[in-house]
Each structure stands twice: as structure tokens, then as C-alpha cells.
Chain A
């Protein structure tokens, strides 16, 4: 096993542990609960992986994190896996071809991803069924969750940037 390969394996094990720990934290009752709003921590984590480790790794982690969310979510099993996979691949590609990997851009990508994910769920699970008071529901429940989740993109950005640098091959380090 080459040193480079070993570094990669260690890096992805670290990524896996962070994503899995984030899932456990977001699912544990009462742990990260702010006035009844719980963030979807795994999504910003996977977006950051996609940005720093590329669209393929991001896509795989997104798919895995989506499956975890699906196992406790009431959405159709596979919904989060598909959405996370697509968002992470797009996030990875966008930082290769469109954006720089600046913290602001990464936070923006996370905000867009969580907004679209919550928006899609809101549309398919609520708007289509024409429940009453949907606007109140959106502003008091969905919007705070989007904001709360977005706040976590900054610490995840810092963590994955450091992780990326730490496991970068020595000869390519600045």
C-alpha cells in the first residue's frame, strides 16, 4: 500500500466518521434542538466533502448520508439519497468549473442545497396535498430549519478544509 493511498483511505475514514457522527447528532432527541428546530447536519457536511474532495467522493458520501436520513425520515425511502447525491455532484462540479473554493461560496452552496431539499420536500409532502396554513408552516418551521442548518456550513467548511490540507500529499502542500 503506497503512502498516498494510505493517506486517502485515512482521509475518507475521517470523512465517514464525521458524516456518521453528524447523522447521530441530528437524530438524537433533544441534542441539537433549538426551539423545536433541528438542523440537517449531514447535508452541509456532504457538500463540503464534494467541494474539497471532488464530485465523485461527494456524490458517494451524499448518497450514503441520504440513505441514513431516509432510514429515519418519513419521506419516500431513496428521496434524500437521490437529492443529496445530485446536490453533492453539482456542488463538486461547480467548484471545479464555476466557483472558487472560498468559504463564502461554500456557505452559499450549502444554503442553496438545503433550501432546495426542504423546498422539494415541502412541495411534495405538503403543497401537493393543499393543507391549510402552509405559509405559516413554511415561515415558522421550514425557514428556521434552513437558516439553522446553513449556520453549520461554516464549521463544516473549516473542518473539511483542514482535513483536506492535512491529508494532502506532502509534495503538493504550499
Chain B
């Protein structure tokens, strides 16, 4: 063992350990995305992640198609060959139609919210160690994406851009315990704050806190963003109420919210780069989101 401690191997490994500690300190003080090495590693690995994500998506699409084809085959086995060929074409058609519908939804969103400046982005990676559905998208600062930009789908709010690299960005979802969104109930106009909850996140739900105790909120009510704080656009759907209970303190109500967007399975998202009512003096940093009183 002494031989190892006297070798130059040991010195190199020690140097790497010290280097790791140094970059940890740097990252802790200024954010992961500000570390040059973080940017470099991400930029190098990003094309591979994108390729892998595309291949996996294609394989999954193929397998889904196969399963459906088999079901269809049992139903149409008595039909003529011509009809079977037509059905195979129909599968392709359905896929294109689905994509088309998705783009149409995005277009409608743009038409109903002309003030939104979008960037469409693809989910290229999900952090295997994260439990709140965080993911990486293929758009970064070169595409005009900034930290704290809202991330949405046509169905509802997904989360917020947390860190931005040149060609990628990390997104934290509304299931994350560190993300808070100011919202209100469209039926009662009672406002509260939505944030992640450890026990609910695995079910895909989040928690609505600080509702008045005399609130008339009920199951199925639609929850939308309040826009207070200027981080998220006003009146954008977040989710629906699944259940209501009294806060352990007894001072307010809390509700379980089912997000409108399918957060764990989302593959295409929109990043809102700017919108009417966005905080003018907003610095665009994640700290500002937490401290800026979005949820107040």
C-alpha cells in the first residue's frame, strides 16, 4: 500500500480530487452552468444524447406501431390484401396526423397568445438521479433561451428553465420541490402557491398551498397561473384539483393538483422567451424566481 502512496499515480489522483473540490466550490457559488468544464462536457455529449433520444423515440414509435398493427391484423385478417396495405398506410398517416395536430396546437397557442415569443424544443435527456421529472432540452442561449423562462406544452405549464448552456438548457418541472408558481382557482378566484411535494411527485401530482380556509375550492376546478411576479404568463393552465385537505397547521387549505401537461412523458415543449407582463427588471436568474415572489 505504501508503494501506491509514494507513486506518481497517487499524486495525479490527489490532484484530480482537489480539482473536483475546486470546481464544486465554483459551481456552488456561481451555478453549474457557469463552470466552463460543465459547458464543455455538455456541448460534447449533447449530440450523442440527441442522437440516442431520436433513435429511442423511433424504436418506441416502431414498437407501438407493431403492437397496433398486430391488433389491427386480428380485426382485418378476413379483409383483402388491398385493405391491409391501406391500413399500413393509415398507421403512417396517423403518426403524421398526430405530429400535425401537435404543431397545430402550438400554432393555436401562438394565435391565442400573440405576445408569446416561443422556441420549440425537444427533450433530449432526463437526469436518471432526479425524481421530479427534470429534463434537458436542445435549445440554449444561442436560441435566445434564458434562465427562468417558462416551459409549457399546449396542454399546460411544465416548468421553468433552470440553467442554460449554449445549445442546451436544464428544465425543472412544477413537480420539483424547489419550484413555486403563483396560481389561482378559476372558479373561486382564490389564489395560492403550487410547488412540488416529495410524496406526490412520484404520482405525478403537485401541491397547492396557502388557500384560504374558507375557500370554496372543489375537485375538478381548473388552476391557472396568476402572473404575479412576472415570471409566468397570466392565466395559463397548470392543472386540476384532485383532492382537498386542511393544512396540518389548521390555518389554510391544501390541494393535490394533477398537472395539465404529461410531465414525465413530454417529448416536445415550448419555451416562452418573452410575454406581456414579464418582469421588466427581471435578472433572468433562478435565484430571482425563488426570491422574486412569484408565488406571493
A77 and B45 contact, CB distance less than 8 A? no
Size band of the interface chain A makes with B: 35 or more
**Most chain A C-beta atoms within 10 Å of own C-beta, residue among B13, B37, B177:** B13
Tell which of A136-144, A151-159, A163-171 binds the partner.
Answer: A136-144
0/1 string, A74-104, CB within 8 A of B gives 1:
1111110110011001000100010000000
What's the Cα separation between A134 and B197 when bound, in Å?
Answer: 11
Q: A27-B128, A28-B56, A71-B38 are in contact. Are A55 and B9 (CB under 8 A)?
A: yes
B56 and A93 contact, CB distance less than 8 A? no
Cβ of A121 within 8 Å of any chain B Cβ, yes or no, is yes
What's the Cα separation between A173 and B218 when bound, in Å?
Answer: 73
What's the Cα separation between A70 and B13 when bound, in Å?
Answer: 19
Q: Which of B9, B23, B135 contacts A29 (CB 8 A)?
A: B135
A24 and B49 contact, CB distance less than 8 A? yes
0/1 string, B23-53, CB within 8 A of A gives 1:
1101110001001011001100100110011
B1 and A63 contact, CB distance less than 8 A? no
Give chain A residues whose Cβ lies under 8 Å from the Cβ of B20. Answer: 63, 66, 78, 81-82, 85
Cβ of A38 within 8 Å of any chain B Cβ, yes or no, is yes
0/1 string, A103-140, CB within 8 A of B gives 1:
00000000000000010010000100001111011001
A27 and B198 contact, CB distance less than 8 A? no
What's the Cα separation between A66 and B49 when bound, in Å?
Answer: 16
Q: State the majority secondary structure of interface residues on B.
A: helix
Q: State the majority secondary structure of interface residues on A.
A: helix
What's the Cα separation between A80 and B292 when bound, in Å?
Answer: 31
B23 and A55 contact, CB distance less than 8 A? no
A59 and B16 contact, CB distance less than 8 A? yes
Cβ of B234 within 8 Å of any chain A Cβ, yes or no, is no
* Cross-chain pairs A/B with CB under 8 angstroms, 19 sampled: A24-B52, A28-B49, A28-B56, A38-B126, A39-B128, A40-B128, A55-B9, A66-B20, A68-B41, A68-B45, A70-B38, A72-B127, A74-B32, A78-B23, A78-B24, A81-B20, A85-B13, A93-B1, A121-B129
B interface residues, Cβ below 8 angstroms from A: 1, 4, 9, 12-13, 16-17, 20-24, 26-28, 32, 35, 37-38, 41-42, 45, 48-49, 52-53, 56, 60, 123, 125-131, 134-136, 162, 170, 172, 177, 197-199, 202, 264-265, 267
